[in-house]
């Protein structure tokens, strides 16, 4: 207070005895002093948190999935903060909407890095979005924890700032082969309907290769744009095939459309979705009697007690349910939760919230996640390896609004 009084006295001496001029100058300096104090408080508060950037599609074609993942990340941050934070500080999520667009994903990454100074990021859901962001990781030297994207290119392209906790499409396809015996009648010929991007095309190619290795015939392959809502042409083509299973790869919005429109066209193929998307609307609004669809997931909230670490899964599920969010959203929300926990563990190991220190610590990170064990193996060219975890894979059946594990 004495400093403020001194400054005001000095100003008074400079401007003389004009009352109006003196009053205006006093008010101006009082405002400047107050603003400086507020800025100092805001800066101090910012230094009391550790930021984690979240780059997800919150609007656009795959907004539902991006919102689930972001909500899972929010729960992760809340759980960490309730336990005292990390390195004596609270976690602060800085969330950017990539609008289901690769260019916007790049813009979101640059905002998080340059404006918000985040030392680590999570994202960016779609393989196409993540691949677009990856050059910026090298340019600015900030690690990215990939929570959803499945394209094999992500971890073999020589980007040492990438650490993926989701399975590649190849991992998913190989894991599916272990479940083949659960299908009755057996799968003999398959068709594919995939979103026309790195995610969809990559999954179709990997599943076709894996299934062909078991002597299963490959039939029709169709694609769709991420925004497409009328899939009648693709389904008509698939209907002409004599396949007995249709593999579908896309976001949860289109998965729901495919199942509904396939029922309308009376497709006989069993529908099997890949990538972890679950059509939650089909629980409340079930399809025709007897119709069943199968869904490859990386967490099944209907059997959370059977997860590898049920105590970890229970914390996540309980917090989600307290907020009364869509129950089926748990199948994707866990990605954000596990990603936050991975980032926090790496920050703890690093002992500081600096990008390169976190990158190095991620190689030492081992933790129990909702999906299971999280730890990184090396993939890609020597000296520029990316980190890849080896997640668990589950299959659930949705029939007449009920979910079971076959």
Residue extents of the structural domains in the chain: 2-40, 49-166+312-388, 171-297
Q: Average pLDDT of 213-234?
A: 97
Concatenated DSSP letters for 269-293?
SEEEE-TT---THHHHS--STT-EE
Q: Average pLDDT of 360-371?
A: 98
Residue partners of 204: CB distance under 8 A and separation at least 6: 192, 194, 221, 247, 249
Least confident of 26-35, 235-244, 302-311: 26-35
Residue 406: the pLDDT is: 77
Burial (0-12, 13-18, 19+ Cβ within 10 Å), 65: buried
For the chain, give percent helix, strand, coil, nearest 5.
50, 20, 35
User: pLDDT tens digits, residue range 107-134?
Assistant: 999 999 999 999 999 999 999 999 999 9
Q: Which residue would you say has higher pLDDT here, 26 or 332? A: 332
Contact 395, 296 (CB under 8 A): yes
- Nearest by Cα to 201 from 192, 188, 210: 192
The structure tokens 């129950």 sit at 327
SS3 184: coil
pLDDT of 298 higher than 60:
yes
Residue 15: the pLDDT is: 39
The rounded distance, in Å, linking the Cα atoms of 336 and 298 is: 13
For the domain made up of 49-166+312-388, the CATH class stated in words is: alpha beta
Which tokens belong to 327? 């129950």
| Predicted model pTM | 0.86
Question: Under CATH, which architecture does the 171-297 domain have?
Answer: 3-Layer(aba) Sandwich (3.40)
The structure tokens 């082969």 sit at 177
Q: Average pLDDT of 182-188?
A: 95
**171-297: same fold as 49-166+312-388?**
yes
The structure tokens 């969010």 sit at 325
pLDDT of 385 higher than 50:
yes
Residue 29: the pLDDT is: 54
In the chain, the percentage of residues whose pLDDT exceeds 90 is: 84
Residue 24: the pLDDT is: 54
pLDDT of 149 higher than 80:
yes
Residue 231: the pLDDT is: 98
Band (pLDDT 50/70/90 cuts) for residue 10 is very low
Residue 13: the pLDDT is: 41
Q: Average pLDDT of 251-276?
A: 95
Contact 194, 250 (CB under 8 A): yes
Is the preceding omega at residue 124 within 30 degrees of 0, hence cis?
yes
The rounded distance, in Å, linking the Cα atoms of 211 and 216 is: 5
């Amino acid at each position: 207070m004495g400093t403020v009084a001194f400054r005001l006295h000095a100003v008074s001496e400079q401007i003389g005895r004009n009352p109006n001029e003196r009053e205006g100058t006093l008010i101006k300096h009082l405002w400047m002093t107050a603003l400086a104090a507020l800025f100092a408080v805001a800066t101090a508060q910012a230094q009391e948190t550790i930021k984690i950037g979240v780059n997800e599609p919150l609007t656009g074609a795959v907004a539902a999935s991006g919102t689930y993942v972001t909500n899972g990340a929010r729960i992760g941050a809340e759980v960490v903060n309730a336990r005292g934070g990390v390195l004596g500080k609270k976690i602060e999520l800085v969330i950017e909407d990539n609008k289901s667009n690769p260019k916007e994903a790049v813009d979101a990454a640059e905002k998080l890095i340059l404006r918000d100074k985040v030392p680590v990021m999570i994202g960016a859901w779609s393989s196409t979005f993540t691949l677009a962001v990856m050059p910026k990781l090298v340019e600015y030297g900030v690690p990215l924890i990939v929570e959803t994207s499945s394209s094999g290119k992500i971890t073999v392209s020589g980007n040492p700032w990438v650490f993926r906790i989701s399975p590649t499409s190849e991992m998913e396809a190989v894991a599916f082969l272990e479940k083949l015996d659960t299908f009755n009648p057996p799968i003999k010929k398959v068709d594919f309907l995939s979103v026309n991007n790195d995610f969809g095309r990559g999954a179709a190619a990997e599943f076709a290769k894996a299934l062909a290795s078991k002597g299963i015939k490959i039939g029709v392959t169709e694609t769709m744009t991420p925004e497409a809502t009328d899939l009648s042409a693709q389904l008509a083509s698939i209907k002409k095939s004599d396949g007995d299973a249709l593999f579908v790869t896309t976001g949860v919005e289109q998965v729901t459309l495919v199942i509904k429109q396939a029922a309308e066209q009376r497709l006989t193929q069993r529908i099997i979705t890949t990538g972890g998307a679950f059509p939650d609307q089909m629980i409340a609004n079930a399809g025709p009697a007897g119709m069943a669809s199968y869904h490859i997931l990386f967490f099944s909230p209907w059997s959370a007690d059977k997860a590898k670490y049920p105590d970890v899964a229970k914390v996540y599920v309980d917090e989600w349910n307290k907020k009364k969010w869509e129950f089926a959203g748990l199948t994707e929300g866990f990605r954000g939760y596990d990603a936050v926990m991975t980032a926090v563990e790496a920050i703890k190991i690093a002992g500081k919230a600096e990008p390169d220190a976190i990158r190095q610590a991620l190689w030492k990170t081992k933790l129990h996640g909702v999906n299971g064990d999280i730890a990184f193996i090396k993939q890609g060219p020597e000296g520029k390896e990316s980190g890849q975890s080896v997640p668990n894979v589950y299959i659930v059946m949705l029939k007449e609004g009920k979910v079971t594990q076959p």
